[in-house]
A and B are shown apart, each in its own frame.
Chain A
Amino acid sequence: QVQLQESGPGLVKPSETLSLTCAVSGYSISSDFYWAWIRQPPGQGLECIGGMHHNGATYYTPSLKSRVSISIDTSKNQFSLKLTSVTAADTAVYYCAIRIPNLNWFDPWGQGTLVTVSS
């Protein structure tokens, strides 16, 4: 059974870089999926951040594109998110998920991790 588990600091200072990792079990990170990140500010809806395929293809939501990067570590079977120059508006629960290419659905999702941006 595939499982995803996010990890990383729960508190990041404004202007610094948010870094999260998603450990994958049950599937190889080299499978034909997009490995994606989605976030949800407190009390708000879902926002896709972007995703990466093991072949190097990536996509990022336009509003975050200048600040975000997603990478894959095949040796550790995990993928990562970096978001630079964070502000309070980046405070959210961050989820990692598997996205099926061309079919537009995410399954499964990690349990999520809350990241607060505050000094």
Chain B
Amino acid sequence: QSVLTQPPSVSAAPGQKVTISCSGSSSNIGHTYVSWYQQLPGTAPKLLIYENNKRPSGIPDRFSGSKSGTSATLGITGLQTGDEADYYCGTWDSSLTTDVFGTGTKVTVV
């Protein structure tokens, strides 16, 4: 079972905004950087956000990340049908001494 908790699903209409929360503890999110991954159906995860709020080259600025205390948030604005995917947060847990991922959130464009 994951030590990072995300909502199972979020949905919104095209063009709208969604936010995905990732709740952890002082031994993981509260201690170090958070990253986010997008997993389109049938494909490998892809890095979306790193070091809490930085976007790799090629990731549009519709995607944003933030961190406060022991929680992190991914925001997606201008929602598109191509954004329908599973999204995972990830970080290092200093107590478990391993990387941990969130439970995953399915984004649906309705």
Per the CB 8 Å criterion, the residue count for chain B at the interface is 27
Measured CB to CB, the closest approach of chain A to B78, in angstroms, equals 24
Tell me the bound Cα distance from A47 to B104 in angstroms.
11
With A45-B2, A45-B104, A46-B104: A105-B50 Cβ-Cβ less than 8 Å: yes
Contact pick for B45, options A60, A61, A109, CB 8 Å:
A109
Bin the interface of chain A by size. Answer: 20 to 34
Complex Cα spacing A81 to B92, Å: 21
B56 beta carbon closer than 8 Å to chain A: yes
- A62 and B91 CA atoms in complex are apart in Å by 16
Return 15 A-B CB contacts under 8 Å, by A number. A36-B99, A45-B88, A45-B104, A46-B88, A46-B101, A46-B104, A62-B98, A95-B44, A99-B99, A103-B50, A104-B32, A104-B35, A104-B91, A104-B92, A109-B44
